[in-house]
Amino acid sequence: MPRRAQTIESVDRRIAGNGRVDRHTPVPLYFQIAERLRGEMQNHKMRPGDLLTTDERVQREFGVSRATARKALDELVDEGLVERVTGKGTFLTKPRLQVPLPLMLSFTEELERRGLRPRTQVVSVGWAAAGERAGHALGLPAKTRVLRLERIRYADNQPVLHTVDVLPESLAVDPEQDFSGSLYRLIESHGVRLAECQNIITASVTNPRLSRLLQVKAGFPVLALRRTSYDAEGRPVLYEDATCRGDLYSYEVRRARQPGK
């Protein structure tokens, strides 16, 4: 990643005097430090490629152990906000589109929540046989006629996601409709109330065709997402095979522990 010219002294001046953490609160120190560093990124209008800090400077500035300093920066690394460069420090990176689960959002809704501009390229749309996987998800025989929609989804003109959506013919969505926006909203405009979805997410890499569509090299790391969406009566109404660029997309999962389980 290109990095703008900076000196360690300029980083020291920027963070000087901000090393106050509350040791009497139950909020972990690493979390407090990560919050302050997020504020630094925002208040100083830092951009991808800027040097944020180093483990050693966090340790010294906030008076914490090396393990705590590293854990604070790990929080930002895990969020895709920064990256570590061995021997140089921690630098801002272009943030990933992070999707919180279990919220049920369409791609368009995900982008709109983050102030990004969605755009859609329809690769193909038409009637086809459901096939084994989509048919099983939708509770239909494999040879049943369904609407198959293939699209590339963009965030601020950068390709982020390849999707193949399969819709039962009973929804009365036809190939002539406008598929440039939220598919969830389109389905709901046909009187269907969407209620929940099931997501299966695995790691994968692109084949030559997907590489071309997503504008990446062959074998590029991606998240492969299989999603089945259900209406309020529990009936499957949409099956989706999606490929998300691993460098631009992540899913956030928060789960609560049940005592005694």
Q: Report mean pLDDT in 10-residue bins for the chain, 261 residues.
A: 48 52 81 86 79 90 91 81 85 65 64 74 96 93 96 88 95 93 91 88 90 92 90 93 81 60 53
Position 198 scores a pLDDT of 85
CATH number for the segment(s) 8-92: 1.10.10.10
Backbone CA torsion sign across 237, 243, 248, 253: positive
Position 148 scores a pLDDT of 97
Domain 97-253 has CATH 3.40.50.300: no
Position 209 scores a pLDDT of 94
Domain with CATH 3.40.1410.10 in the chain: 97-253
**Paired residues of 150 in beta bridges:** 124, 164
Domain with CATH 1.10.10.10 in the chain: 8-92
Cα–Cα distance measured from residue 236 to residue 242, given in angstroms and rounded to the nearest whole number: 17
Position 14 scores a pLDDT of 47
Amino acid identity of 135? Answer: G
Position 108 scores a pLDDT of 75
Position 96 scores a pLDDT of 57
